[in-house]
Amino acid sequence: MSEEPGGVVVYWRPMCTYCMKLLTQLRFTRLQYTRVNIWRDPDAAAFVRSVADGNETVPTVTVTGRAMVNPSKRELLEAVEAYAPHLLPKGS
């Protein structure tokens, strides 16, 4: 499950400090991504559990459908560079 199979999707939940940290860091990258609140989307929560050993570990991010559980900003941008370089802002 990914909101946009060719894009970046950040699965998060309110009050998650790891989510807020990653989302704040991404704000400065100009990377386009979709945010999905797993507390409001049962299918998204089920997807996260399916890739996180049954846990609702967030942030979980997909890059062109490839799941990453609790990635750092660097790991996420490296995955975008490897699998979806067209999504990187010009001049990055």
Query: What per-residue confidence (pLDDT) applies to 91?
Result: 62
CA 57 to chain centre: 12
| 50, part of any domain | yes
Residue count of the chain, please give it.
92
**Which residue in this structure is represented by tokens 């990187």?**
88
| 20, part of any domain | yes
- For the stretch 5-30, pLDDT in tens is 569 999 999 999 999 999 999 998 98
Q: How many domains does the chain have?
A: 1
**Residues 10, 26: contact at Cβ < 8 Å?**
yes
User: Is the pLDDT confidence value at 2 over 90?
Assistant: no
| 59, part of any domain | yes
- For the stretch 25-80, pLDDT in tens is 999 898 999 999 999 999 999 999 999 999 999 999 999 999 999 999 999 999 99
| 2, part of any domain | no
> What is the pTM for the complete model shown?
0.90
| 61, part of any domain | yes
| 79, part of any domain | yes
Task: Tell me the one-letter amino acid at 33.
Answer: Y
**Residue 65, domain extent:** 8-87
